[in-house]
Structure 1
Amino acid sequence: MSGALAGRRILITGAAKGIGLATAERFVKEGARVAALDRDAKALAALAGRFQGDKLCTFEVDVSDLASVSATVADTAATLGGIDGVVSSAGIDLIADIEAMALADWNRIIAVNLTGPMLVAQAAYPHLKAAGGGTIVNVSSGAGLSPLKHRTAYCASKAGLQMAAKALAMEAAEFGIRVNTICPGAVETELFRTSIDTAPDPVAAYEAVRARYALQRVASPEEIAAAILWLTSAESSYVTGTAIAVDGGRTFH
């Protein structure tokens, strides 16, 4: 077996679509055994059908639910024989004026985008320690580095995720576990397309987004997966507690 992740056992949430899907596919190519976790059972089945043998297994999970996460992470560890790495890519968006945003909307965003990665990290932590160290990579957003209008809940959840990862990095270093965060800009995913296609003028909305980037284009999920791969591999062995903008020159900082 060869590749940057040869022999590694990696759990990926949000793995049925978008960045998570691209990451799962890339990690398998790099020699990892991957547990793909998602709420979408149909999409998971389609993903599983593309791989043979024990390269990839799938589990249905709700990352905002403690019981679901605890059971699924335990099943993942049993199936893979342990866990060497975690990628938390599951996430949802919300565009809403503050006056129109219901408390339930706020709570759901925080539950999935912030509490979810914490629950996954907490459940995987003993397995990472038992493996002698490992990696946790959280997929945040440039919106956690610089605010976006009408996205109060989303920005808060992503900024919170970055700081939580930095704090955990300090705690986990004792056990050889590295914790980092990726902050993408606009990425050509179903989530991104939903916000564009529901705009009054989708073409104008897309062009307005594209124009904000120095590279004058929207990223592909595979480009973000490449950055996640680097933070998961030994190539980044001296990197922990970082929040890296992968944003085509959007310069969210």
Structure 2
Amino acid sequence: MVEQLFPAGAAMIMGGTGGLGAASARELARAGSDIALCYRSKRDVAEKLAEEFRGFGRKVSLHAADATDPASLEAARDGAIAAHSRIHTMVWAAGPLVDQVHLSETPLEKWKRAIDVEVHGFFAATQALIPHFRSAGGGSFVHLGSAGDLHWPERDGLSVAPKAANESLVRGIAKEEGRYGIRANTVLVGVIDAGMFHDLLANGSFDETWVAEVQKALPLKRWGKSEEIGHAVTFLASNRAAYTTGQQLAVAGGYGV
């Protein structure tokens, strides 16, 4: 008997053209899930990814979505449901590149922007999906959080603090919506040798001393791979995690141990 790895429908990836969003979508598609890929402005990147995922035999739809605009999120939801009949999982991988700066030196406007995108955006996206999940008999949220929730990394407050607020939202959703078959979990992301990390290296946010100190703190003496985040996302979205909710899965090389 062939295992049914995912519920019927598609995984909806918010921030699907970013490094970790794309990697998550790719591994979900490889594992057998159809994909509703959401992007804010990079339509060309989304189209290339969709072509790749269709090569795995998957149905892929594309949806423009702005995390700061609830109406945009609702329109993306409606488009995804129209294309796939059902969304079985929403993966939250949205979020901008943020400056590495001490809290004492963080401009209030940048703080507000980080909260607006990460916290208000995630909250609005979950509110848009919960009624659909209830009517469909269940669904799951997979939030890409930060391993900084385990051990505070200096100067990364614009990322870690908003994501920490979302950790509480994940637990709240798990507690309140479990009776409807809705699950919510987080992948705590460590330093991944891709996308955002490369951008921060290139702009000088991380120097050789930072690299040496962080690697010294890692039991696994290497950076993570984007597909390793995708593997964790795929597990939490799958039927194999059907009895897992309100949890954090750290994919961070042991950071914080």
Instruction: Calculate the TM-score normalised by the size of structure 2.
Output: 0.90
Tell whether the 8 Å contact from 2:9 to 2:84 is kept in structure 1 after alignment: no
Corresponding residue for 2:39? Answer: 38
Q: Within the alignment, does 1:71 sit opposite 2:70 as a pair?
A: no
CA RMSD of the aligned region, Å?
Answer: 2.1
- In the TM superposition, residue 3 of structure 1 has moved relative to its aligned partner by 6.1
Q: Within the alignment, does 1:23 sit opposite 2:27 as a pair?
A: no
1:176-196 Cα shifts (integer Å, max 9, x gaps): 101111111111221111222
* SS of equivalent to 2:87: coil
1:181-235 Cα shifts (integer Å, max 9, x gaps): 1111111221111222222774554344333211111100111111111111111
Gaps of 5+ in 1: none
CA distance 1:15–1:201, change in 2 (3 Å):
closer
* SS of equivalent to 1:84: strand
1:3-152 superposed matches below 5 A = 4-5=5-6, 7-39=8-40, 40-52=42-54, 55-92=59-96, 93-152=98-157
Gaps of 5+ in 2: none
2:113 partner letter: R
Instruction: Give the Cα separation in 2 of the matches to 1:20 and 1:51.
Output: 13
* SS of equivalent to 2:243: coil
Instruction: Give the Cα separation in 1 of the matches to 2:157 and 2:53.
Output: 39
1:113-149 Cα shifts (integer Å, max 9, x gaps): 2221211111111111121011111111112233221
CA distance 1:251–1:102, change in 2 (3 Å):
closer
Instruction: Give the Cα separation in 1 of the matches to 2:100 and 2:68.
Output: 20
Aligned counterpart for 2:201 among listed residues 167, 188, 196: 196
CA distance 1:148–1:135, change in 2 (3 Å):
same
The percent of aligned pairs where both chains have the same amino acid is 27
The farther-off stretch of 10-19 and 194-203 is: 194-203
1:62-113 Cα shifts (integer Å, max 9, x gaps): 1121121111111111111121111111123331234542222111111222
Count of residues in Structure 1 that have an aligned counterpart in Structure 2? 252
2:254 partner letter: G
* SS of equivalent to 2:140: strand
Tell whether the 8 Å contact from 2:23 to 2:226 is kept in structure 1 after alignment: yes
CA distance 1:7–1:15, change in 2 (3 Å):
same
Instruction: Calculate the TM-score normalised by the size of structure 1.
Output: 0.91
* SS of equivalent to 1:192: helix
Tell whether the 8 Å contact from 1:11 to 1:86 is kept in structure 2 after alignment: yes
